[in-house]
Amino acid sequence: MRDRSPPQLDSTLTQTVKSLIKVAPVFIAADATIGDAAQQMQRARIGSVLVATEPPGIITDRDLRGRVLAANLGPETPVTQVMTRPLKTIDSDRLAFSALRLMVDENIHHLPVIEAGKIAGVISATDLLFHQTTNPVYLRGVIDNVDEPAVIASYAAAIAAIADTLFQSGLGALQIAQIISSLNDALVKRLVQLAERTLGPAPAPYAWIVFGSEGRMEQTLLTDQDNALVFDAAIEETRPYFAALSKWVVDGLIQAGFPPCPGGFMAINWCKPLSEWRQLFAQWIRLPEPPALVDAAIFFDFRVVAGNLSLESLEEVISGAKDQRRFLAHVLNGAVAFRPPLGFLNRLRTEDGKIDIKMAGIAPIVSLARIMALSTGSRERSTLARLSSLADGVIDPESARSLSEIFPFFLRLRLRAQLAERKNRDRIDNRIHLTALSSFERRQLKDALVIIKQIQEDLRAAWRLDLSS
C-alpha cells in the first residue's frame, strides 16, 4: 500500500546536496598561515576554506575561535597545525537529509561535497536549516559543551522544536527519528563522560545500552527511558561504581526531560555484569514464559550507545533463537495479540472518535518485524531493516513489503498528531482523531489495518497459535 496523499512542498532537506552548493570550492596553499585563511574566508564571505594538502584538509570559522584564539595562537601559525584532516565528505547525489544526519553524528558544521571524485563545493549547517535554535547541528554542539545536567533542562523542548521544524521541512517521521536518536545518543555519551569525571575512571569495560524505540532509532518526541548497563565483572568490587554511574546518568536524563520508565526498565534497575546478561538472555529463550517474553521483546532491541565493552556474546545468544521453534511460537503469539480496532465488515472501532495508533498499528508491525529478525538470525534493529531481510523467515516477502509500506504512514500520522497536541498544549499521547484525517487518509488507515489483521490471521493459522498458546 502506497501513500497517495497530496505531496508536500519541496524543501531543502529533500533536495540533493549538489543543489545546495552556492560557490566553487575555495582552497588555500598547504604552506598558508591562519591569517591567510581568515583573510580568504573574509574576502569570499564563507565559513570555511579547504587546504590543498594531500589528502585535503579544512579549516572553519569555528576552528579559528576554538583552536586559534582560545589557544592563543598567532596569525602566523601554519594552517596545517589546526586544520582537520582527513575530511568527512558526502556524495553529490545524496539527499540533504543524509548530510544533516552526518553533521549531527560527527558534530561538524561544514561538509565537502564529492562529485566525479573531486570536491565540488562545501555545504554548511545553515545551508540546511537556517534557524539556529531549531538546527540539530547547533544542538549537537551545545550537548558536547554541557558541563552539568541542569544546563540541559530545556532539552525536551528543543527536541520537540527540531522535530516540528524537520516535519514542516518535509522529512518523514523515520528520518526525523534518526536525527533525534543521534542527538539522544550524543546526550547519553556526554552524560557518561560527566559521570566518569565525577566518579573517576571506570574500573572495567562497560556498555550503556538503549532499547525499545530508542534502540530501533524510531523515537521522535521524548518518551520514557529504556536503558541498561552491562559491565565486565572480573573484579567484584566494580558493582558499586557502575551502580553509581547508572544513577548519575539516569538522573541526568530525567533532568533533560526523559520521563522515568513506569516499568522500571532503566539502568538503575538493570545494571548487571555481562555473564549475568548472557544467562538472562539464554533463559528467556529456553523458558519462554510470559514475563520472560516481555523482557525478551524489550531487551532484544538493544543498541550500544556508550562504552567499549563488546556485546558480541549477547548477539550470538539472540541469533541462536532462530532454531528455537517453541520460543518463536510464543513470541509470534504475542505479536498477533495486538488486534487492530476493526469490527463487523472491518469497520473502524474508535473510542471518543480516536484510535491509539501505537497499539492499533505501530506495535503490531514492530512485533512482527522483531519475530522476522529472530527467525532469520538477523542482527538488524530498525523495523524496516528487519522487514527487508532477504532470508526465509516467519513472514513471507509479500507481507513484509506491505508492512514496510504501512509503517512510515502510521509514524507520520502519530507524529503529526503529537506535534499538533504540543502546539495546542494538549496532553501528548498516541491517539489520533479521525476527524483530523482526510477522507483518503481514513481509507488508507482502514486498508492498512485490514492488511495487518489478515497477516496476523495467516500466521495464527500457519503456526496453529490458538492451539499452542
pLDDT tens by residue, 245-261: 999 999 999 999 998 99
Contact 239, 203 (CB under 8 A): no
Residue 140 lies in a domain: yes
Per-residue pLDDT reduced to its tens digit, 267-289: 999 999 999 999 999 999 998 88
Average pLDDT over residues 24-46: 94
Average pLDDT over residues 198-220: 95
Residue 4 lies in a domain: no
Residues 55 and 82 grouped into a single domain:
yes
Residues 285 and 344 grouped into a single domain:
no
**Continuous segment of H or E residues that includes residue 91:** strand 90-91
**Residue whose C-alpha cell is 500466521:** 459
Per-residue pLDDT reduced to its tens digit, 389-441: 877 788 999 999 999 999 999 999 999 999 999 988 888 899 999 999 999 99
Range of the domain at 33: 12-96+106-125
pLDDT of res. 8: 36
Residue 3 lies in a domain: no
Peptide bond into 149 cis (omega under 30): no
User: Taking all residues of the chain, what is their mean pLDDT, rounded to a whole number?
Assistant: 91
pLDDT of res. 4: 34
Residue 469 — very low, low, confident or very high, per pLDDT cuts 50/70/90? very low
pLDDT of res. 3: 41
Contact 148, 135 (CB under 8 A): no
Average pLDDT over residues 97-102: 92
Closest to 64 measured CA to CA, from 30, 87, 43, 36: 36
Beta strand 227-231 with 271-273 is: parallel
Residue 290 — very low, low, confident or very high, per pLDDT cuts 50/70/90? confident
**Is the confidence at residue 262, as pLDDT, over 80?**
yes
Q: Which strand ranges, in their side-by-side order, compose the sheet holding 48-51?
A: 27-28, 48-51, 57-60
Residues 331 and 440 grouped into a single domain:
yes
Closest to 357 measured CA to CA, from 433, 439, 419, 259: 433
**Calpha distance 180→419 (Å, rounded):** 15
Residues 172 and 250 grouped into a single domain:
yes
**Calpha distance 112→121 (Å, rounded):** 6
Residues 6+ positions from 344 with CB-CB distance below 8 Å: none
Residue 7 lies in a domain: no
Residues 6+ positions from 421 with CB-CB distance below 8 Å: 427, 428, 429
Residue 39 lies in a domain: yes
Contact 427, 294 (CB under 8 A): no
**Calpha distance 187→252 (Å, rounded):** 9
Q: What is the largest CA-CA distance in the chain?
A: 80
Average pLDDT over residues 318-335: 92
Average pLDDT over residues 129-153: 84
Residue 141 lies in a domain: yes
**Which grid cell is 94?**
545524496
Amino acid identity, residue 147? Answer: D
Residues 116 and 264 grouped into a single domain:
no
Residues 291 and 432 grouped into a single domain:
no
* pTM recorded for the entire structure: 0.88
Contact 110, 90 (CB under 8 A): no
DSSP-assigned beta bridge partners for residue 112: 122
Residues 6+ positions from 202 with CB-CB distance below 8 Å: 196, 231, 241, 242, 245, 307
Residues 186 and 299 grouped into a single domain:
yes
**Continuous segment of H or E residues that includes residue 48:** strand 48-51
Give the angle subtended at the CA of 137 by the CAs of 85 and 413, to the nearest 5°: 135
Which of 250, 284, 315 marks a domain boundary? 315
Count H helices and E strands in the chain, helices first: 19, 12
Average pLDDT over residues 377-384: 95
Which of 261, 289, 315 marks a domain boundary? 315
**Calpha distance 108→101 (Å, rounded):** 10
**Long-range contacts formed by 454-463: CB under 8 A, 24+ apart:** 455/368, 455/395, 455/399, 455/402, 455/403, 456/335, 456/336, 456/338, 456/339, 456/364, 456/368, 458/399, 459/332, 459/335, 459/336, 459/368, 459/394, 459/395, 460/336, 463/329, 463/332, 463/333, 463/394
Residues 375 and 345 grouped into a single domain:
yes
Q: Give the HSE-up count for residue 336: Cα atoms under 13 Å, Cβ half-sphere.
A: 24
Residues 333 and 238 grouped into a single domain:
no
Map residue 296 onto helix, strand or coil.
Answer: helix
Residue 242 lies in a domain: yes
Residue 11 — very low, low, confident or very high, per pLDDT cuts 50/70/90? low
Residue 68 lies in a domain: yes
| Portion of the chain with pLDDT greater than 90, in percent | 76
**Is the confidence at residue 147, as pLDDT, over 60?**
yes
Contact 389, 380 (CB under 8 A): yes
Per-residue pLDDT reduced to its tens digit, 48-69: 999 999 999 999 999 999 899 9
CATH number for the domain spanning 113: value is: 3.10.580.10
Residue 130 — very low, low, confident or very high, per pLDDT cuts 50/70/90? low
Residues 362 and 452 grouped into a single domain:
yes
CATH number for the domain spanning 304: value is: 3.30.460.10
Per-residue pLDDT reduced to its tens digit, 355-374: 999 999 999 999 999 999 99
Residues 120 and 146 grouped into a single domain:
no
Give the angle subtended at the CA of 66 by the CAs of 55 and 79, to the nearest 5°: 35
**Residue whose C-alpha cell is 511460537:** 329
Domains: count for the chain: 3
Residue 131 — very low, low, confident or very high, per pLDDT cuts 50/70/90? low
How many Cβ atoms are within 10 Å of 461's Cβ, its own excluded?
10
Contact 58, 48 (CB under 8 A): yes
Which of 293, 315, 337 marks a domain boundary? 315
Per-residue pLDDT reduced to its tens digit, 170-197: 899 999 999 999 999 999 999 999 999 9
Residues 258 and 275 grouped into a single domain:
yes
pLDDT of res. 295: 87
